[in-house]
Amino acid sequence: MALYESVLIARQDISAAQAEALAEQFAQIIRDNGGQVTKTEHWGLKTLTYKIKKNRKGHYVLFNLDSPAAAVLEMERNMSINEDVLRYMTVRVDALDANPSAMMQSRGERGERGDRGDRGPRRFDDRGPRPPRRSEQAPAAEGEIA
């Protein structure tokens, strides 16, 4: 059997519980066709980069699959029929990662970094000395290019 990662985006106007039920429905299709879902991650409601079918947000779900190709094709066929699924993408991978995905890791780190995150202090004075302006620099000696 081959290894796959699949991500789907569900409509924004369904609830989180309905999005989880939708994910379970697609996981059951994989199981019924002889595959197994090794990991399911619900990334939550996220803003889309651009509108998809008049939606600005979507519920993201990641699947790690160990399954035959026929099972993945059946799952994708059902995703394309379902009105609640905006987009989906399945990629074949060499190995499945048992650790949390980058999306889940960044969610956990948010609280540890503090309010400003990695952006540093807010005030100009705290950033240290500013570099001299061109008008403040010493004039160039003869023969030097300024």
- pLDDT score, position 137: 64
- pLDDT score, position 37: 93
Q: Would you mind telling me the total number of residues written for the chain in this entry?
A: 146
Residues 4 and 65 sit within 8 Å (Cβ to Cβ) = yes
Positions of E strands within 78-134: 85-93
> What are the Cα distances from residue 122, in Å, to 12, 14, 58, 99, 119?
34, 38, 32, 34, 8
Domain borders along the chain are 2-94
Helix (H) or strand (E) holding 22: helix 16-32
Distance CA(102)–CA(28), nearest Å, equals 25
- pLDDT score, position 97: 85
Positions of E strands within 53-143: 55-67, 85-93
- Per-residue pLDDT tens digits of the chain, which is 146 residues long: 899 999 999 999 999 999 999 999 999 999 999 999 999 999 999 999 999 999 999 999 999 999 999 999 999 999 999 999 999 999 999 998 888 888 888 776 655 545 555 666 555 555 666 667 776 666 666 666 65
- pLDDT score, position 8: 95
Q: Identify the CATH number of the domain defined by range 2-94.
A: 3.30.70.60
- pLDDT score, position 15: 93
Three-state DSSP state, 32: helix
- pLDDT score, position 122: 57
| DSSP symbol at 124 | S
